[in-house]
Every structure is written in structure tokens, then in C-alpha cells.
Structure 1
Amino acid sequence: MIRSVGAGLCHFVVCDEVHHWVESNAGIYVWETLDRNVQKTAGAGSRLIETTNAFNPNEASIAQRTFDAAMEQGAKRILYDCREASGEVDFQDREAVMAAVAEAYGDSYWVDLGGIADAIQDPRTSTAVSYRFYLNRIQENADGWMTKEHWDLCLSEADPILPGDQIAVGFDGSIRGDATGIVGCRLRDGKLFLLGLWENPRTDPDWEVDVLAVEAAVERTFKTYRVEWMYADPPYWQEAIGRWSIEWEDRVFEYWTNKPTRMVNATERLRSAAAVQDVKHDGDSDIRRHVLNAVTREVPQGLLITKESPRSKKKIDLAVCSILAFEARADAIADGRMKIRRSRVVGF
């Protein structure tokens, strides 16, 4: 509800469900416009009220921005009021669930506590939904992209990757903050393996990725294996990727991960493959760590992966590399590059 007097002046604004107000649906823009107009007459008593459920910490919603401003950054003139269930809850324990629901809803006598408990214990209700929408709890890891069980079932220690194998490659580069990684994926069985990782150790404030080492690793990859297709995310590395595409013509391609429709499809391809063990990996601990660090972020096109929060130190760059490598494998196969040309042997 907005009551306004004069052009651009808001005296009382109610913003409902601001955990859904995100950049992709223009929620940030709308809120900032409303807030600026309220601030113009704040001295005269103008107010803006937000109501919300617990936010998803990887969506950067208005709810999250307000929480950060009030609780972590000490912003003035914000009254933040929240009631939530405390501690971890065993969702199989009816008594524990009822106690958590009662704690979260407090004196809201009109709420059907038993119905809420039923919804939480419904097997169709995810852990993330139970905590966020029924117990009002922020759960950073509740929306994990890949489960440990699915990933570990894809482990294949037999049939190691060998020099000369046909592979596809995924590359995700950075300079300082994030990691730079290269992941390979064997064409014939979809087996993922690490080709290079440069990760900020967080002990040196002046640390930067060793660009020459990355260049050398890419060259070594092409010399060691039969690289049929490489997808590389261009930011910070567009010049290098351009040179690689000239040196290894028709095998190196840009893949902009900030294009949601394409990236959503690639992300789902790898996750679905892992669920039915149609992808393999050699057990590399760094790839596993990055894959399990990734959480989902909903956009209009579907689900993307991201860090659990913008300031999280848990890296996911090798998960991005794995998505690109697996997508590159699919496109290489679709292009017919698994067909091996053999020299004709003539006997005398």
C-alpha cells in the first residue's frame, strides 16, 4: 500500500514478502525508488515497512540487504524484529517439530500449529522450505546444488585418464578474489578430472593468479590430451582466450556464464547426470569441495549455482569448470568428434 501526496513523495509504504524482491525481477530497483521517496519526508514521519520470511542468503534480496544493514553493519533508523525457531530440529520427531513451530509462531494464536507441523513432516517439503517458510530460519547450506551421496556414487577409480585420451575442457578464470580452474572431461565416459587450480590462500593480501602458470597449463593440456572442445568463461581472460582460439582453431570457444538460459541448461545437465551416475570423476578433493560448496540460486529461467553468500570464502569455481567441461563434452559428441580416424593399414 502506498499513500502519496505530491510528485514522488511517499508517506507510508508496505513492502510485502521482500525475500522475493531480487535483481532479476526488478525488486531491487522498485525498493530503491520507494525508499528514496520515503527518505525525502522521513523527518515528517514517513515510514517504510518490510515483511518477509527468512531469506535465501545466495539471492541478495531486499530482505537480506535489510538484515545485513541492521544486524551486521549497524545502520541507524532501522527497527528489525524477528522471531525464529532455535537450534537444529529433527524433522522425524513430532514433538520436536511441534516445539519448534510453537517457538517460531509465538503468540500467533490464529495459526494452525498442527497443520504447520504436518507440512514440515510431509516428505515433499524440502529442508530449505521447512526452515525458511515455517520456522523462519536462515539456512545457508539448505539449498545445496549437489548432494554428497550423488557425487560420491559417481567416483570411478578404475580406468584412469591417460595421455592421448579425447577430452573436453572447462575453464573459469579470475585474477584476485575467486579461484581460476581448469577441468577436463573424457569424451567416452564423461569422467571429470582436475587440470589446474589457482586459489587465493587468504594469507597474502597482494595475491594474484599466476597468469603464466595458467597459460602453461592450458598449453600442456593440449599437448598431453586430444582436446576436442574447450569452453572458457571470458571475463578477465578474453584476450588469452582469443589467442587460444587462434592457436587451437575450432576447439576453443567462449562460454559466457552470465547468460542465464544457456547456463541453467548446462547446470541441470550435470546435476541430472550425477543423480543417475551418467557422469564420473576420479575423486579429486578440490573438485569435490567446490561442487559441494555450491548452492542454488533461482532465476526466471531456472536454477544457477552460486556461493552460499556473497562474502563466503567457500569457492565454487571448479564446479563451474565441471559444468562447462561436461557441456563441452556434449557439444563435442554432438559435433561428431568422438569418431576416431585411423590410418589404413596395407599388408604385403
Structure 2
Amino acid sequence: MDETHHWVESNHGVYVFETLDRNVRKTSGAGSRWVQTTNAFNPAENSVAQRVAESTSKSRLYDCREAQRNIDLDDEEALLAGLKEAYGDSYWVDFSGLVDAIQDKATTPASVAYRFYLNNIAEGADGWMSKEEWDGSFSDSDPISPGDQISVGFDGSLRGDSTGLVGCRLRDGRLFLLGLWEKPREAGPDWEVDVLSVEAAVKRAFETYSVEWMYCDPPYWQEPIGRWSLQYGDDKVFEFWTNRPTRMTNAIERFRTAVSTGDLSHDGNEHITRHVLNAVTREVPQGLLIQKNSPKSKKKIDLAVCSVLAFEARADAIADGRLFKRRRRVAGF
């Protein structure tokens, strides 16, 4: 059984493992055995690799080489030593190539480096964005102004999760908060999002800025999104289903790369920052998705989703030729 950190409930990997394990146990007297090889597992996924690692069965031998924790990835000497510790006697490994891959931060997030190269298994190792990386995109210069061309990302809920609205300036990829509706701590179980307040915020965004493209995650909000499309233009307001892995993983990857390369900035808004840093990754065949650290977690990530949608909407608006578009003038004689 190979790559069992990918064997999870959603792809039926757990079912396959349980079937194999039962059959091996039935014939263990005849010398039957199974063996697994795996990378470090994601503690949020409860994969087969995690289940076996945490098993108390005396019939299983668990062997793992893990590098020292919290190695400075920019320290080439320390990184090389950590890689050699993790890979042991794997003489065929190209360590210089691994160092180069890890230090290419545009394509290798720190969480991936620690998990897949240094074999570190730890809570939080699956974090999507480190505070250091996100703070590196902060800028307090050139604030957003009325009339700026922007794109908008919207992720809505009614009760459990937050509802958010994030803008992104077209000319430089600068993110800013347009609205957040989040259940207060003191609120009771009957709390709901103020739909009229959300409607007002969307109206205010279109009146204040030149909104060129808006992506909206439709669940629970298809009727309002349809009205926004009629009111503000079906060439500006679009549905974006975040539960479609191929499209969403591509958008998340572009956002993550933009943070690493400095092609995105933000004004340090505390709510966007909190949601971005709350997000953890989940690996699917198409790539990496972002999610809460557990289904019932109170650490919300909705503004992180809004930010991804706003940045993706910016890219599509620019590709459509809407950046610095010429405005028609009519002269009278």
C-alpha cells in the first residue's frame, strides 16, 4: 500500500485498507503480511497513514525518520542536515535539488516543505499560509479610493459560517474588506445573517467603485445573485462554485503564488488576516483546497475564500480587457 496519506474517506481509501487488512489477518498464520509506505500525514484528514501510526496494535511495526522540527528553510546548511536526517540511507536522493525546490517559495509552501520533504508530522503543519508570508504582503501605501476599478469575491452563508465580501483592485491586486457578517460570541442559536445588510453592502460597492467582475459562491444565495446579475449586469456578476475542485484548486494555487511573488497586497485588515491564517489545506487529486481545521471549528475562513474569488475575478477581468478600459464620450453640438 503506497502513499497511504492520500487514502481517506472521501476517495474510499479507508474502505480499501479495511478490506485488505481483514483478508491479511485471516491468513496471517500462513505468513501473510502487508506493508505501507507514506509521506507525513495531514492530522486533519484522518487518513489510513494516520490511523496506522496512531494504532496501539502490537502486531504492527511503525518506523519513521523525521527531521528536527522548525528548521529555518532559508538556512541552507541546516536544511541540508535536516534532509539527510529524514532521508537516512536513501543514497539516490538529489539533496541539492530538494534544497532548491524547498527554497522556491513560489511553488513550495512551507507547510509542504515540512511535511513532504522533512517528514514533520504536527498539528498546524497543514496551514495554508504562515503569518510571516501573509505579513510580507502588507502595504499601507496607495490606499483604495472611490472610483477605483475593482473585482469582488462573495461567499455567503445564513447561520453557521460567516458571510463575506472582499474587493481587489485591478491595477495592483490589492485586497480590502467590503463587508463581514459573523455570528457574535454572545448570539444565540437563532442568529442569522442580516440579508438586507449584505444587499446594501453589495449596492454600496457598485456605487462607490467601478466593479468590473464579481464572483459569488451560489449556495443559499442563488436568488440574490440572480438579482445582482440583472441589476448590475450579467457581464459583471458570475457564479463561482467553490465545491468544484479543479477550478478551485487552480484559483487557490494562483492566489498562493501571488502572495509568494509579491503580486498581491493587502491593507492588514484584521478580519481578512484572521480568516486567511485560520485556513488549512486538504489534498485532493486536483491539488490543494482550503478548509477549516475541523468541520465544527469556530475558526472561520470565509474571508479567505472571498479573497481567492476576488483575486480570481481580477485575473479574469484583466484577461477580458477591462483594465483601464476606455470610456466612451458623447459630444453635443
1:150 & 1:297 partners in 2: Cα distance?
A: 19
**Following TM superposition, by how much is the alpha carbon of 1:83 offset from its aligned partner in structure 2, in angstroms?**
8.6
Tell me: CA distance 1:29–1:223, structure 2 relative to 1, closer, same or farther (3 Å). farther
- The answer to whether the 8 A contact 1:140-1:308 is kept is no
2:289 & 2:179 partners in 1: Cα distance?
A: 23
CA deviations over 1:118-147 (Å, ceiling 9, x no partner): 98xx74686657865798764232233234
- The equivalent position to 2:202 in structure 1, one of 206, 218, 241, is 218
1:222 & 1:124 partners in 2: Cα distance?
A: 45
- The equivalent position to 1:177 in structure 2, one of 148, 157, 160, is 160
Which residue in the other structure is 2:29 paired with? none
**Following TM superposition, by how much is the alpha carbon of 1:305 offset from its aligned partner in structure 2, in angstroms?**
1.8
**Following TM superposition, by how much is the alpha carbon of 1:344 offset from its aligned partner in structure 2, in angstroms?**
5.0
CA deviations over 1:3-36 (Å, ceiling 9, x no partner): xxxxxxxxxxxx676422025543144346668x
Which residue in the other structure is 1:11 paired with? none
Which residue in the other structure is 2:7 paired with? 21
| AA partner of residue 150 (structure 2) | I
- The answer to whether the 8 A contact 2:42-2:125 is kept is no
Q: Name the SS of the counterpart of 2:203 in structure 1.
A: helix
- The equivalent position to 2:177 in structure 1, one of 176, 190, 194, is 194
- The equivalent position to 1:319 in structure 2, one of 304, 307, 322, is 304
1:78 & 1:329 partners in 2: Cα distance?
A: 55
- The equivalent position to 2:216 in structure 1, one of 232, 235, 242, is 232
- The equivalent position to 1:163 in structure 2, one of 139, 146, 160, is 146
- The equivalent position to 2:252 in structure 1, one of 267, 272, 286, is 267
Which residue in the other structure is 2:124 paired with? 141
Tell me: CA distance 1:303–1:217, structure 2 relative to 1, closer, same or farther (3 Å). same
Deviates more, 1:243-252 or 1:125-134: 125-134
Aligned residues: 312
1:78 & 1:314 partners in 2: Cα distance?
A: 37
- The equivalent position to 1:343 in structure 2, one of 311, 329, 333, is 329
| AA partner of residue 221 (structure 1) | A
1:275 & 1:134 partners in 2: Cα distance?
A: 19
2:229 & 2:53 partners in 1: Cα distance?
A: 45
Output the aligned Cα RMSD.
4.2
Instruction: Give structure 1 regions of 4+ aligned residues with deviation exceeding 4 angstroms.
Output: 31-35, 48-54, 63-68, 77-94, 111-115, 124-137
**Following TM superposition, by how much is the alpha carbon of 1:304 offset from its aligned partner in structure 2, in angstroms?**
2.0
Which residue in the other structure is 1:208 paired with? 192
Which residue in the other structure is 1:296 paired with? 281
* Structure-to-structure mapping, 1:101-116, within 5 angstroms: 112=88
* Structure-to-structure mapping, 1:35-184, within 5 angstroms: 54-64=40-50, 112=88, 123=99, 128=111, 138-184=121-167
Which residue in the other structure is 1:108 paired with? none
Q: Name the SS of the counterpart of 1:192 in structure 2.
A: strand
Q: Name the SS of the counterpart of 1:228 in structure 2.
A: strand
- The answer to whether the 8 A contact 1:179-1:199 is kept is yes
Q: List runs of 5+ in structure 1 lacking aligned partners.
A: 1-14, 42-47, 72-76, 105-110
Which residue in the other structure is 1:310 paired with? 295
Which residue in the other structure is 1:245 paired with? 229
- The answer to whether the 8 A contact 1:58-1:307 is kept is no
Which residue in the other structure is 2:106 paired with? none
2:58 & 2:239 partners in 1: Cα distance?
A: 45
**Following TM superposition, by how much is the alpha carbon of 1:243 offset from its aligned partner in structure 2, in angstroms?**
1.8
1:200 & 1:80 partners in 2: Cα distance?
A: 46
1:155 & 1:312 partners in 2: Cα distance?
A: 27
1:204 & 1:82 partners in 2: Cα distance?
A: 47
Larger Rg: 1 or 2? 1
**Following TM superposition, by how much is the alpha carbon of 1:328 offset from its aligned partner in structure 2, in angstroms?**
0.7
- The answer to whether the 8 A contact 1:17-1:50 is kept is no
- The answer to whether the 8 A contact 1:128-1:143 is kept is yes
Tell me: CA distance 1:218–1:293, structure 2 relative to 1, closer, same or farther (3 Å). same
1:78 & 1:225 partners in 2: Cα distance?
A: 65
Q: Name the SS of the counterpart of 2:179 in structure 1.
A: strand
1:133 & 1:264 partners in 2: Cα distance?
A: 19
1:82 & 1:55 partners in 2: Cα distance?
A: 14
1:78 & 1:249 partners in 2: Cα distance?
A: 65
**Following TM superposition, by how much is the alpha carbon of 1:323 offset from its aligned partner in structure 2, in angstroms?**
0.8
Q: List runs of 5+ in structure 2 lacking aligned partners.
A: 27-32, 103-109
How high is the TM-score relative to the length of structure 2?
A: 0.74
- The answer to whether the 8 A contact 1:184-1:192 is kept is yes
